[in-house]
Amino acid sequence: MSDVTSLLTAPDRKELSQLLGKANLHLLYKATVHGFDDRAFHSKCDKQGPTITIGYNKSGFILGGYRSTDFGGRPNQVKSKTFLFRIPSEGKASKYAVDKGAVALWSNQQTPPTFGHSLLYLLNNRENYLSNLFQESKNNFLAVNDELLVECEAYRVEEVKTPWRHLTWTTEKRREQMNFIENYKPYMSSVSKARILLIGRIGAGKSSFINSVNSIFRGHVTSRAMAGSGPTSITTMYSTYSFREGKDNTPLPFILCDTMGIGSKQGILSQDIISIIKGHAPNKYEFKTASPINPDTAGYIKSPTVGERIHCVVYVIDASEASMLSANIKEKICAIRSEINKLEVPQIVLLTKVDEECLLVAQDLENVYHSDVIKEKVLEIGRQLGIPISCIIPMKNYWSDHELDDTTDILILSALVQILRYVDDYFENFHNLPSNI
């Protein structure tokens, strides 16, 4: 179905979600593609479970019906939960009961899709354009002065059930997250700021995450860290970013550290990552793909303090690559993880660009933990890299946006809150680490 495009716009889908609840809509039938007749309809839509059938007219109205049972089967009355709906070109969706009267909800392959006396599609199998709607409903809900359709579509409706991870999407939650981060103090009193290292593939979104965090606390979209995509890493230096909030420039208690991307053949060396974690690399150190940092390198920090070490490592992985990490990249990340495990530094994964991988999430980011697509990608990354599922966080950065959005903020802030909690785990364990680490 990749070559068949839905006519439903994002606002239309949002209106339908008010009627259907959280649901995945899978396009089954499109009259201008599959044919303007009931046989074509039934060949695509029979035995598909709950469906909505939608007609579009030239005036911009969307006229539709929902049924909870299959199309197809014997031509008799079907016990089905049904309703009709209308979405105007501008405005809110309206929902109506089906006036069944003496006419059944027919479901066999010799009849058009019908909704009792109220609504009938594809009447007389008109070939050049879709047929008139037929309705005798007492409430006359379809009186829109234009019953000729320009398109007819049918969708399978998959109810989205209990989320596989809970997150509250309210302005109060956003404020709570902001307060936690603003008032955070590292568990170790000698350290003033948590230091968090971002590593990952070229173009996965490390720099974009830094920009997104900065944007939230500055109150507008910013671009402090150079972000982009291409065959080579945009980031060539080890760069540390401190953050301030609002107009009063209140310093925030964490530092995000950006690195050169991991590449299949080129990219940051594993030895450099370990040196950064141990606190030996100075800010603005220029990475060399041929040789790692060493004690003779200018600016090398020979005796780093606890505050100069990395307290949490964050792998940034593009969701589109979750199920097809190359053997080389997988081997590199697993080797790095093994070395970091020896240092007992907590590790988290940010699975970025989730809105590009799931239509349900693209329509509404609040669906991220309802999405089976995203859940499967989280599970796949866990399997491939041996990372606990609780340590993998779906993410959408500010990339093309010019304005902030509370829902995106909440997802980003929830990740940052979890990272800071893991930082405290590191500090709690630090005194028990061997002195040679």
Task: Please state the three-class secondary structure of 62-104 as a single string.
Answer: EEEEEECCCECCCCCCCCCCEEEEEECCCCCCEEECCCCCCCC
Let me know if residue 387 belongs to a domain.
yes
Based on the fold, state whether residues 137 and 228 are members of the same structural domain: no
Residue 20: give the domain boundaries. 10-159
Is residue 150 domain-shared with residue 283, that is, in the same domain?
no
Q: Are residues 141 and 187 in the same domain?
A: no
Q: Are residues 329 and 424 located together in one domain of the fold?
A: yes
β-pairing, 94-96 with 114-115?
Answer: unpaired
Query: In Å, what is the CA distance from 289 to each residue of 115, 236, 376?
Result: 67, 10, 34
pLDDT (tens, 9 = 90+) of the chain, 437 residues, equals 446 888 988 888 888 887 887 788 889 999 889 987 878 888 898 888 899 998 887 777 888 889 888 887 554 445 678 888 888 877 788 888 776 553 444 455 556 677 766 676 765 555 333 333 434 444 444 545 556 778 889 999 988 778 999 999 999 999 999 999 999 999 898 999 999 999 998 888 999 999 999 999 999 999 888 765 554 555 678 999 999 987 778 899 999 999 988 875 677 888 999 999 999 999 999 988 888 999 999 999 999 999 999 999 999 999 988 777 788 888 888 999 999 999 999 999 999 999 998 877 888 899 899 888 899 999 999 999 999 999 999 999 998 888 999 999 999 999 999 999 999 999 988 866 665 66
Same domain, 362 and 216: yes
- Residue 223 CB partners (closer than 8 Å, separation 6+): 211
What is residue 388's predicted lDDT score, i.e. its pLDDT?
95
- Judge whether 78 lies within some domain: yes
Q: Which of 136, 159, 182 is the last residue of a domain?
A: 159
Q: Does 164 fall in a domain?
A: no
- Angstrom distance (rounded) from CA 376 to CA 394: 11
Any domain includes 18? yes
- Inside any domain, residue 381: yes
- Kindly state whether residues 20 and 135 are assigned to the same domain: yes
Cβ(221)–Cβ(169) under 8 Å?
no
Residues 231 and 102 in one domain: no
| The domain boundary residue, chosen from 108, 127, 159 | 159
142 with 183, same domain: the answer is no
Statement to judge: residues 117 and 191 lie in one domain = no
Q: Is residue 166 part of a domain?
A: no
In a domain, 185, yes or no: yes
Long-range CB pairs of 62-65 (<8 Å, 24+ gap) are: 62/8, 62/12, 62/86, 62/87, 63/119, 63/133, 63/142, 63/144, 65/98, 65/113, 65/115, 65/118, 65/119
With beta carbons less than 8 A apart as the criterion, state whether 122 and 112 touch.
yes
276 & 132 share domain: no
Domain boundary among 159, 185, 214: 159
Q: What is the pLDDT of residue 79?
A: 61
DSSP assignment of 110-127 equals TS--EETTTEE-SGGG-S
Question: Does 73 reside within a domain?
Answer: yes
CATH number reported for the structural domain that contains residue 327 in this entry: 3.40.50.300
Distance, first Cα to last Cα, the chain: 54
Identify any residues that bridge with 63 across adjacent strands, giving them in sequence order.
55, 86
Residues 6+ apart with CB under 8 A from 293: 271, 272, 275, 280, 281, 285, 300
Q: For residue 82, which of 64, 56, 58 has the smallest C-alpha distance?
A: 64
Amino acid identity of residue 45, one-letter, is C
Give yes or no for a contact between 224 and 200, defined as CB atoms under 8 angstroms apart.
no
Statement to judge: residues 221 and 276 lie in one domain: yes
Q: Which two tokens stand for residue 41?
A: 């309809």
Position 88 scores a pLDDT of 83
Number of domains in the chain: 2
How far is Cα of residue 95 from the mean position of the Cα atoms in its chain? 29
SS3 assignment, position 429: helix
Same domain for 183 and 149: no
Give pTM, 2 decimals: 0.68
